[in-house]
Structure 1
Amino acid sequence: MRPGLKIGDQAELKIIVTPDMFAQFDGKVVHRAYSTVSMIYHMEWVSRMIILPFLEEDEEGMGAAVSAKHLAPSAEGAELVILAIVNEVKGSHVITEVTVSNRGKLIGMGEVKQILLPKSKIASLLEDD
């Protein structure tokens, strides 16, 4: 990992809820609202945005854990702000706290843990499958 990543670093992602983000199972929409699956995806994405400038050429980040609470629904067209803030850097582990807001109202919150590993290590882990 390149030097410089520190506690308090942050990244922000703004998205608009679209039908492909609705809660659905087996291709059938259950609720015309922002799904928990989409929220987790965006939480991981904004957390990844933080580590990208610090990855060495031979490194990659992997998700290791996500915890989340989806507190309120958001309809199609809602403009959401997803904010990740680094709260721990320990060796190759980076942990971010993430919030999801809809017009200033907190609709989701959680934590994302990433591990920075050599690409060769990731490849060898996948070969073991």
Structure 2
Amino acid sequence: MKDGISIGQQAVINAEITTEMYAQFEGEIIHPAYSTVSMVYHMEWASRQLILPYLEDGEEGIGGGIEMKHLGSASAGQSIEVIATIISLTRKSVISSVEVRRGTTLIGTGQVVQFILPKNVIEDKLKNIKM
């Protein structure tokens, strides 16, 4: 990774909830509210913003894990803010703490682990997946 990344750095993304983000399985809406799956996506996306400026040409980030709590809801048309903060940093990993807010209401918390690997190592791992 390039120099400059540090503990405490933050990345923020904002999104407007759409019906495609509702809790659903196989196209059937279960609840007309922001889904846990969509929240996980937004947590990972915000956390990825933290590493993007620091990846070397031959590096890439790959998800290593996520822990989260879905504490509240949001509906179509409402806006959310997702704030990721680096809490742990090594040469090969970045761990971020993430909060999801609807206005001033905290609706999700979690941690995202990203590993930083050479692109060729990731490609080799993917080639070895059995079909």
TM-score with structure 2 setting the length: 0.97
How many Å apart are 1:91 and its aligned residue? 2.0
Query: What is the CA deviation profile of residues 12-52 of structure 1, one whole-angstrom value per residue up to 9, with x for unaligned ones?
Result: 00101001100000110111100000000000000000100
The equivalent residue for 1:18 is 18
1:83, CA displacement in angstroms? 0.2
Secondary structure, counterpart of 1:42 in structure 2: helix
TM-score between both structures, scaled by the size of structure 1: 0.98
Gaps of 5+ in 1: none
Q: Runs of 5+ in structure 2 lacking a partner?
A: none
Per-residue deviation, 1:97: 0.1
Considering only aligned residues, what root-mean-square deviation do their CA atoms show, in Å? 0.5
Runs of 4+ displaced beyond 4 Å: none
Letter in 1 for 2:86: V
1:34 equivalenced with 2:46 (yes/no): no
TM-superposition CA deviations, 1:43-84 (whole Å, max 9, x none): 000000010000000110000000000001111111100000
The count of corresponding residues between Structure 1 and Structure 2 is: 129
Letter matched to residue 51 of structure 2: I
Q: Which amino acid aligns with 1:83?
A: I
